[in-house]
Structure 1
């Protein structure tokens, strides 16, 4: 026998044997294919709508913790030791600690749950539990309406994005804030507000920040939505969704260092075509004289060659309250005849007439008619430099075109926010950085290789449950079956699906 072949064969056997003996070592063969994810399992949680919102995974217990607000406020615990057959274990009742639970995160055997107060405008809490016993460890007071909670990668901090939404009459509008909890210092908490930026409002608005709530200061108007933390656990970025901005936080000094307005996207340019009518009986992408407001929901961060990048899912969101509603259809608005000489044609239902836009932007000369039109969200994902906030990539209309090719594009939402990219997470598969982007209305997740942040490459579309809300990636090293997994929880039907990376 050829000695080289014998050596290779023995090496292969020894490598495989060592990996089997040590569960913590990832089997190196075969190599995973990030473009070949497929569904391997699912579980349907009781309650229907609201039964599977946000999920978090604990590698030490191989359990999944899923927000369930379908009937009452609770966290469902799922055994995923065998990810092909997830099994319900029990629920953790959250009702003793406040109102609904909005988010969960896990690190080092601790489950953190963001719990709003019974009156949303009051300060909420982050409830901390042991992931093995489910015992309550601590209740930490945070700002009003904690909407998302996460750990820093090194486990030092627990961060809560406190949205601070107003009441329906807009008579109480608490400051938006971000709470930083020390996981290594008895859970001491510092809550950061945005009052230092009140005097910079005009300058920030000129760059695309939206401050538009009735009688609201900038600090009251900002609504922190989602948080991501750099790999070195020194910096956090927070989406201010309704305000069309991202805030940057220095975790070492515990301070908000900048608010970065995101500007607008021009849908009159080639590559930014979109479908604007739900009554044309067609998926018809075209350019229109409309600007999109990014209004990102989820965001994730990753690093390439020492440079931090942020990826945002540009869902869009409109304020709708009893005392204030910004949304209107184009056909209901008076359009400036100079800016829109063909207004009558544009306002037909088969054209722009059905499209929902904001009434808070566009009347440039304050004469009562609209010189520009601004729609909610940009139906895309974007990548921004972490240090500067400069956009390095936007997916244009590719998300919706790929969904149309997969025959899952939601044409009945064309007049609103289209496919609504809402969730995003990032993971490494086969040394490639992969972004997973959830489309709430198409009931799908799109996979992109973002190893080169300037030129992401589309990989595939995965069909999910109804309205995917929570998207988590589990690296092979922490996975219960030592394979890279994607877990998607869908809020409208209570379905949690498990997808596994393919093999090359």
Structure 2
């Protein structure tokens, strides 16, 4: 198959397994969203590699009837086509070679107008405008351009095509500083008659050259056109804008993009999300989009480090009027939204943070919506810009590196194309298709509240889950090793979305932490499992004081076992018994090689008797490995009926490429009556558990994610019998970054 479709229509939205899909943002740190009767829901994700053999899908546009998408694939020097006659079932529709690197395109009637880079070098740039008949797939015209084209835009009346000639700089030349010649410019194509007869002229950007920081090296980046045939052009490295009249070619106005004071952002890559920096950053806008004839929005990505080593990019978006006055500045608020939603990519903190690169406007009925894409956090913010200040409508997850955004109001659709894959893991370059449907926002499913300083509680990569023994609405989650410190999060599961209301650092351990499992003891304190890493940290059971987060007990495996440990160690943890006489159970993710333990497939569940200090082990029977790669355990939970739940999953993601997700399931085992035996002289116990399928979670993950997530990590049963699961988003590191938090219904209904 060439696509992974999700029907978020009535059948799945009412399915008990997908009960948590209809969630809103009200009352959370994700902020004061606008109340509305309808929001966007993902209905399909198209894999461009499996479908069309494409390497990337960077810029995307749609046909006038809304039935065909066209996208650029620069790596293959081609454009691709997708049939969205049924947008929930997109179909591959082939590619056309364009004789160079397509950098942008627009659809004009039966044609695709493609800007193609054919440059031999930075100092000898060249390109062409290629006109492709979408119906016959023939190249019907080519117009040579005296420079390297980038962005293109078609005027609403379809009389003009504007082509940005960037002539980008060589970042290895003179430290990447500008000026570097030749300069770029703006081409104006007058569309009249047959494509072979179109004429191309240069806009007069001399006023910009006179006032931009780099003078005559303009390097324009992006262009959009309003109803008056006025183009707004961004000059990213120059931190500048121009308003150009396409009829005359004159520059009507030009002005600096300015800078932004940012407060409480993370500017250090220390594997912690620390919102403690104050920065002043040049906006350095990338994409621009008119909202109306007087206002436009810019995505302030940043792309230049000046001679002083100062890097631009203000981590948000801005709304200007065409006279150059700032009407709205998001400052740090956009980044804070993504922190609260668990989508902050900490590995970009020293650079440009969430890096907004794309922006798109669309009028859906009476609603004026602005879409802002974060390239590094794989998310699009949707804002209503009808009033004085934008109001957040929702956040939408995407594939890795959203680049092209396209609103399709006539069909109630929004499309995001991504330019990055993680092929080894089975995460392709994809086109995400969203449809406006009645109901509250489905995503995010879990967000954080603000802390006492009014800042979002940072979190990523949730792992194990545990339930409070009394309060049915309170759950606990742990971070894994993605952050340099280990945390326990308190979750209010009654809210929609679920809310992380507090976090507590775990301190006092003898080594670094990779918290993978959590349980609540009879005395109310926590027991957590920390996964080992050979040569770095041991596998450990830790008892943690609820009030302080201090480790009060630390229990390690017998040395002869730890010596055989592999990187897939302790995962879930469960505890039974009274304080001081607990039985603590931990799941070992995968089999460890050991003398006398020659199974190599079935892993083990360990039991530690607190009063006696003795360890015992029993084998857990693993499912046979399929297309989803290796299989391991991710969670261990005590169930209300006296049995224990074990999460067993493969490494697979999505479908149709790489590692296909096949196993994301919860099994029940009887540990109370199992034969736990110690290792004797290095020989492993022989007993093997029997198991019973409790719930197949794969359908729920497929229904509620844009690309089925790999890491089903947390499972718990609340005090009222409600069953919850959570996925680990890998810290948005080489992964889309979705976190699914789902209520699977009542435990009694699962059996």
TM class by smaller structure: 0.7 to 0.9
Match for residue 227 of structure 2 among 212, 224, 231: 231
Counterpart of 1:46 in 2: which secondary structure? helix
Counterpart of 1:155 in 2: which secondary structure? coil
Match of 2:313 in 1: 377
Counterpart of 1:67 in 2: which secondary structure? strand
Match runs of 1:434-453 below 5 Å: 434-452=369-387
**Equivalents in 1 of 2:308, 2:253: separation in Å?**
24
Structure 1 pair 142/487, CA: closer, same or farther in 2 (3 Å)?
same
Q: Does structure 2 conserve the Cα–Cα contact (< 8 Å) formed by 1:239 and 1:297?
A: yes
**Equivalents in 1 of 2:419, 2:307: separation in Å?**
30
Match of 1:472 in 2: 406
Higher relative contact order (CA 8 A, sep 6+): 1
Match of 1:173 in 2: 181
Deviation at 1:391, TM superposition (A): 0.6
**Equivalents in 2 of 1:501, 1:448: separation in Å?**
14
Deviation at 1:172, TM superposition (A): 6.6
Deviation at 1:427, TM superposition (A): 0.6
Counterpart of 2:291 in 1: which secondary structure? strand
Match for residue 151 of structure 1 among 154, 158, 163: 154
TM-score normalized with structure 1 length: 0.73
**Equivalents in 2 of 1:34, 1:391: separation in Å?**
31
Match of 1:46 in 2: 49
Match for residue 392 of structure 1 among 316, 327, 345: 327
Deviation at 1:197, TM superposition (A): 4.6
Match runs of 1:187-198 below 5 Å: 187-192=198-203, 194-198=205-209
**Equivalents in 1 of 2:86, 2:66: separation in Å?**
12
Match runs of 1:188-337 below 5 Å: 188-192=199-203, 194-198=205-209, 200=210, 204=211, 209-211=212-214, 218-219=215-216, 221-232=217-228, 234-267=229-262, 272-279=263-270, 281-288=271-278, 290-303=279-292, 308-318=294-304, 326=305
Match of 1:102 in 2: 103
CA deviations 1:318-338 (Å, max 9, x no partner) are: 2xxxxxxx4xxxxxxxxxxxx
Deviation at 1:61, TM superposition (A): 7.4
Deviation at 1:112, TM superposition (A): 0.5
Structure 1 pair 83/222, CA: closer, same or farther in 2 (3 Å)?
same
Deviation at 1:143, TM superposition (A): 3.9
Structure 1 pair 419/134, CA: closer, same or farther in 2 (3 Å)?
same
Match of 1:141 in 2: 144
CA deviations 1:123-168 (Å, max 9, x no partner) are: 3111112221122222122341101112100100111111012455
Match for residue 355 of structure 2 among 403, 420, 426: 420
Deviation at 1:429, TM superposition (A): 1.9
**Equivalents in 1 of 2:180, 2:277: separation in Å?**
40
**Equivalents in 1 of 2:134, 2:111: separation in Å?**
6
**Equivalents in 2 of 1:445, 1:230: separation in Å?**
23
Structure 1 pair 33/58, CA: closer, same or farther in 2 (3 Å)?
farther
Q: Does structure 2 conserve the Cα–Cα contact (< 8 Å) formed by 1:424 and 1:438?
A: yes
CA deviations 1:156-211 (Å, max 9, x no partner) are: 0111111012455479721211111011153100023534554x3xxx3xxxx432
CA deviations 1:330-374 (Å, max 9, x no partner) are: xxxxxxxxxxxxxxxxxxxxxxxxxxxx4347xxxxxxxxxxxx4
RMSD, aligned α-carbons: 2.2
Match runs of 1:404-415 below 5 Å: 404-415=339-350
Counterpart of 1:403 in 2: which secondary structure? helix
Deviation at 1:33, TM superposition (A): 5.2
**Equivalents in 1 of 2:169, 2:346: separation in Å?**
32
**Equivalents in 2 of 1:118, 1:422: separation in Å?**
24
Counterpart of 2:420 in 1: which secondary structure? coil
Q: Does structure 2 conserve the Cα–Cα contact (< 8 Å) formed by 1:80 and 1:86?
A: yes
Q: Considering only CA atoms, is the larger Rg found in Structure 1 or Structure 2?
A: 2
Structure 1 gaps of 5+ residues are 1-31, 212-217, 319-325, 327-357, 362-373
